[in-house]
Amino acid sequence: MERIIFLIDMQSFYASVEKLYYSHLQHKPTAVAGDPSIRSGVILAACPVAKREGVKTAETLSQAQQKCPALVVIPPRMELYLKISVQIAAALEAYTDKIEPYSVDELFADMTHTYRHTASTPEQAALFINRHLLRAFGVYPRIGIGPTKVLAKMACDHFAKKSEEGIFTLSQDQLASTLWPLPVNHLFGVGRRMEKHLRQMGIRKAGHLAAYPVEELRHRFGLNGELLWQTAHGIDPSPVSPGTHTHRKAVGHHMTLPRDYSSWDDIRVVLRELSEEVGRRARVEGFSGWTVTVGAEGRDNERPFHFHRQAAQAAPINDGKALYKAAASLFLKHWNFYPVRGLSLSLQQLESDQSVQLDLFSEKEYREDLNRTIDTLKERYGPAAVLQASSLLPGGQALTRAEKIGGHYK
């Protein structure tokens, strides 16, 4: 039996939620954006009224205001959006028990065996869900339907969002007439760098990639080349898995900095904060990890640079001090002294922290007792209850970020 997968996307989710709370903005151009005084002054969501004025997601606040001087700008409330997202997922469980969150405002739903409980066709079931979520939450969903997750995603992104009812079905036998005429960067997984490589090979449309010999794509791009070829053909055997996000492959954290950090004295403060946060999260979830990965992004004379490097550890770790030691060594080895705008740190190759490797000459037992105490204090009194003294230096971000979720104020 061919599967029936829905990708349910909430239109202008953040802005739609805010309009529920500020009803006087219902017909005004409204956008949710970060603080313009720091680097996060970017449009996170724009309502349809603002979009008609040319406002786009991810552009700077100043660009948006030039296009739409009457734009009403609201700071994000991430805690509220997450709460409503969870409520929407719970509401969808009335239609199927196979719900997989893809992002804050997107969910996959496997309706193969359940859509007939609601309607005679998948499209009618999607329309019923649209009306339900609009009445219950005041948000307008768009739904892409397909036999695979990747086709449902592309059906939503490229067709449902442009249709009057916000629903579109993309089946295997429609690919030649619908998906393949689109530019190649419309394929899921094709970013700017990959698009550039593909265009150099004469691959400009999705259909060109579908017709390209898969062996040559695999030879040039490895498994990713074959995966892109499969995407162009709508091949995606991955199931809709409610537990996908509970089986951790890594614990990581990324921080966009409020200014360019050029000195090691500033950078190491943030690296230490990242190390403490990643270590705390790993411990809370009961993990240790064998591999530490450090990433950095920045610009030199408007040319972007970035690196991501990893190093295996002699034993699995989840202690902030050990993480920082590994992260600092990696960073200093690969940093080219360019100003840094973003830093990331992750702990990979996870295993249960119940497995203990004995070491007579380490301070492991003392550090574990200390970490348990600190974790308890932070859980009870908040993330800023206990901080490294270095976080009080000018480069520190821990105090500010303690008031935020996902880099934005709660």
Which residues are tagged catalytic? 106
Calpha distance 12→187 (Å, rounded): 22
Calpha distance 335→306 (Å, rounded): 9
Query: In sequence order, what are the beta bridge partners of 45?
Result: 32
Phi-psi region of 234 (alpha: psi -120 to 50; beta: other; left: phi over 0): left
Calpha distance 287→264 (Å, rounded): 30
Burial (CB count within 10 angstroms: exposed 0-12, middle 13-18, buried 19+), residue 247 = exposed
Q: How would you label 39-74 residue by residue, b for 16+ Cβ within 10 Å and e otherwise?
A: bbebbbbbbebbbeeebebebebeebbeebeebbbb
Burial (CB count within 10 angstroms: exposed 0-12, middle 13-18, buried 19+), residue 299 = middle
Calpha distance 271→166 (Å, rounded): 44
Calpha distance 277→279 (Å, rounded): 5
Query: In sequence order, what are the beta bridge partners of 101?
Result: 107
Strands of the sheet with 5-10, listed across from one edge:
99-103, 106-110, 5-10, 141-146, 167-169
Calpha distance 101→389 (Å, rounded): 38
- Residue 49 token pair: 């009224």
Work out the number of other CB atoms within 10 angstroms of the CB of residue 375: 16
9: annotated binding-site residue? yes
- Residue 309 token pair: 């490097």
110: annotated binding-site residue? no
Calpha distance 61→85 (Å, rounded): 25
47 φ, ψ (degrees, to nearest 5): -75, 165
Max intra-chain CA distance, the chain:
69
Q: Which long-range contacts (CB under 8 A, 24 or more apart) does 103-108 make?
A: 104/13, 105/9, 105/10, 105/13, 105/14, 105/81, 106/7, 106/8, 106/9, 106/10, 107/7, 107/8, 108/5, 108/6, 108/7, 108/8, 108/149, 108/152, 108/240
Please state the residue numbers annotated as binding site. 9, 105
Please state the residue numbers annotated as binding site for Mg(2+). 9, 105
